[in-house]
């Protein structure tokens, strides 16, 4: 009886949901670009033309192919230490995506668990979680992330931990609001009438109908995580300066922008394109999976 009253988000056949996803241009563009970036990250050691850490001062600030002074084998030129820009961007993709997927997943896990509990059980649980979220969100996120990484020490784990500690609140607030809305629908009343336990209703009935908005939010959070990692790398609070990261390359390129503009521009393009793809994917998932948005 409860299954018959499921909300439209997941009561649609799988084939119809797939057609909705494939029919949404933002999903195709964003998802395709993200898949391409994943392939690049996995194959970076194979497809990178040079060692990203190899230095040759005699080849410092070589321009990209097609410009005067360019040399074969350096498609996007070199930085002031003679390191291949293309190879460093390709390897930097691995760092960006590791941070994006791990940080977004952990943030979603923590925020979803607290949001579900607060939105469904209400009462003192909701009051405690809501006050905690309000207090946590009163701190400026970028400044708090810089402070946390400064306390934890630079490193990939510190960056991920800082993003998770800050951004779980984003998931908590959205999931709580959606859980409250779902809890007031007929299918929840039907499940209670049948005699399902509250944990069963929460995990087997409400949670699947929160998944569409959660998927969209995870995708958007990945773009935010990539941006935060780049900011922390830019100020020297992420990985070591030798490790190829987009933020570190942008910081380096800013210092030599008049001698080698390409060291700044190409990592910026990679960063902007990746964040845009995650945002488009998130918006596309929201439009494709939410029946209200599709009207």
**Residue 17, in any domain of the structure:** no
Contact, 245 vs 229, CB < 8 A? yes
Range of the domain at 93: 28-294
pLDDT (tens digit, 0 to 9) for every residue of the chain, 295 residues total?
A: 444 444 444 445 566 777 777 778 888 999 999 999 999 999 999 999 999 999 988 888 999 998 888 888 899 999 999 999 999 999 999 999 999 999 999 999 999 999 999 999 988 999 999 999 998 888 887 778 878 887 887 788 888 998 999 889 999 999 999 999 998 888 888 888 888 888 888 888 899 888 888 998 999 999 999 998 998 888 888 777 678 999 999 999 999 999 999 999 999 999 999 999 999 998 888 887 765 544 4
**Residue 165, in any domain of the structure:** yes
Give the total number of structural domains in the chain: 1
**Residue 87, in any domain of the structure:** yes
Q: Look at residue 295 in the predicted model and tell me its pLDDT.
A: 47
**Residue 4, in any domain of the structure:** no
Give burial (CB, 10 Å; 0-12/13-18/19+) of 170: buried
**CATH code of residue 242:** 1.10.3720.10
Whole-model pTM over 0.95? no
d(CA 11, CA 130): 31
**Residue 201, in any domain of the structure:** yes
**Residue 8, in any domain of the structure:** no
Q: Look at residue 15 in the predicted model and tell me its pLDDT.
A: 66
Residue whose token pair is 């809890």: 183
Closest CA to 102 of 233, 218, 238: 218
Q: Look at residue 8 in the predicted model and tell me its pLDDT.
A: 42
d(CA 191, CA 208): 14
Contact, 128 vs 182, CB < 8 A? no
Q: Could you count the other beta carbons within 10 Å of the beta carbon of residue 138?
A: 8
CA angle at residue 115 from 109 to 119, to 5 degrees? 150
**Residue 19, in any domain of the structure:** no
CA angle at residue 94 from 46 to 215, to 5 degrees? 130
Closest CA to 90 of 56, 55, 46, 54: 46
């Amino acid at each position: 009886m409860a299954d018959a009253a499921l909300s439209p988000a997941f009561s649609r056949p799988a084939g119809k949901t797939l057609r909705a996803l494939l029919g949404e241009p933002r999903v195709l563009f964003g998802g395709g670009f993200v898949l391409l970036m994943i392939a690049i990250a996995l194959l970076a050691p194979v497809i990178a033309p040079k060692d990203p850490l190899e230095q040759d001062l005699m080849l410092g600030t070589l321009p990209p192919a097609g410009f005067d002074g360019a040399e074969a084998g350096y498609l996007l030129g070199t930085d002031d230490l003679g390191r291949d820009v293309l190879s460093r961007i390709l390897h930097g993709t691995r760092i960006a995506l590791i941070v994006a997927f791990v940080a977004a997943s952990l943030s979603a896990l923590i925020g979803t668990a607290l949001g579900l509990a607060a939105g469904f059980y209400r009462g003192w649980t909701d009051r405690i979680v809501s006050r905690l979220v309000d207090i946590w969100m009163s701190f400026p996120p970028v400044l708090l992330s810089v402070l946390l990484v400064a306390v934890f020490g630079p490193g990939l784990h510190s960056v991920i931990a800082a993003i998770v500690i800050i951004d779980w609140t984003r998931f908590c607030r959205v999931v709580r609001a959606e859980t409250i809305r779902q809890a007031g629908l007929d299918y929840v009343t039907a499940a209670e009438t049948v005699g399902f336990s509250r944990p069963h209703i929460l995990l087997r009935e409400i949670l699947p109908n929160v998944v569409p908005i959660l998927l969209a939010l995870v995708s958007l959070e990945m773009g935010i995580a990539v941006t935060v990692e780049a900011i922390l790398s830019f100020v020297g609070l992420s990985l070591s300066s030798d490790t190829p990261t987009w933020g570190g390359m942008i910081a380096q390129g800013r210092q030599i922008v008049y001698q080698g503009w390409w060291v700044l521009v190409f990592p910026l393009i990679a960063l902007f394109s990746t964040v845009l793809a995650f945002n488009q994917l998130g918006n596309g998932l929201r439009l494709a999976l939410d029946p209200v948005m599709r009207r």
